[in-house]
Structure 1
Amino acid sequence: MRKPASVDSLTEFGRVRLSKSFFMRDFLFSDIAAIHGLSNIPYDPDLAIKAGKKLCADLLEPLQETFGRVAVRSAYRSEDVNQFGNEKGYNCASNESNYAGHIWDRLDANGHMGATACVIVPAFWDRFQQAGDWQKLAWWVHDNLPYSELEFFPKYWAFNINWNEAPKRRIYSYVNPKGWLTKPGMENHAGDHSAHWRDIL
């Protein structure tokens, strides 16, 4: 598939169904692109679709089936949008570090496909707003889903969730306690963590 260059072709691209609940259009909105008049359309639509299907089927659908609606806060970024966001200080990492992350249509430095979405689980937030409660959801994902990376943020416990062909299996937080919750090599990485999340189901 060529990069959409007309309203009709972009409409058809947006109609691509990535999983039971999600369509490509759900992931194309960008605040940066909307305000600054930039195009947030993949140069390689086929790779974006392939990566997006894995993100949705393996991670977002199980989240939604377990906890209710998953709200997509931010997801796909074109290279142009991401670079602009990085240069203007909009909390976008460099393009190179976002390949196979928010930039779905580029492989990462190791040649692996991946995709990231920043999501909120409203039903979880409604029930668990005490300090540290985000860790309950983090440990549930760690124990139950084939994620690569998670990054948690303070507002509504929003988090980046990444699928990658070569999963890193690491969780970082910008919420207190800040830093690594777990990653390979840490003593808490392996084993059953259900004591942390049993009460959320």
Structure 2
Amino acid sequence: MTQRIVVLISGSGSNLQTLIDHSQKGDLHGNIVGVISNKADAFGLVRAQNASIPSLVLDHKTFASREDFDLALIEHIDSFKPDLVVLAGFMRILSAEFVRRYQGHLMNIHPSLLPRYKGLNTHQRALDAGDAEHGCSVHFVTEELDGGPIIIQAKTPILMEDDSASLQARVHTLEHKIYPLAVSWFCSGRLRVTDDGVMLDDNCLPSSGFELKA
């Protein structure tokens, strides 16, 4: 059975577009059945409209608390009956209740080689630290911010001439490779998370996840 995917966004939706492209080619093993944004001006909503994917805006500023927003978000997500919820640049810290609701069925992509550089400004932080390499990680979401079990990572060397913008551009390219791969693994039944860790084809992945080789 084809898996149903809901994508949450806040901005331009480049990772959403990559997932749409792979879904249309048939290699995602899932269909994006809904897109939800907390910002009305998110360009990702245009991407969803262009792909004839139902979308809606749920403005967090109209809610009295994070918990109230998340309860409303849960209601809208559940209306799509998803098998997987994908965070694609969704700039909200989610409540514990929300995370527990979709435990094991909630994915995020983060622009660093976790557990390094949780949070924001990851590219500049990697440069400031003098790191030799940088990259991105797809992980299952838990109540710990950017701290859930890692599924897959991809790396890029940091070059002498790099600044934050050039490094970000290369990391984006890597994101567009590993996110569809992780989603396709999940939707094809190859990927799951257990008490022992992340399982791919019934093999337990290392704590740093699967490394995509360039």
* TM-score of the two chains, using structure 2 as the length reference: 0.25
Structure having the larger proportion of residues in strand: 2
Normalized per residue, the structure richer in helix is 1
For CA contacts below 8 A with separation 6 or more, give which structure has more relative contact order.
2
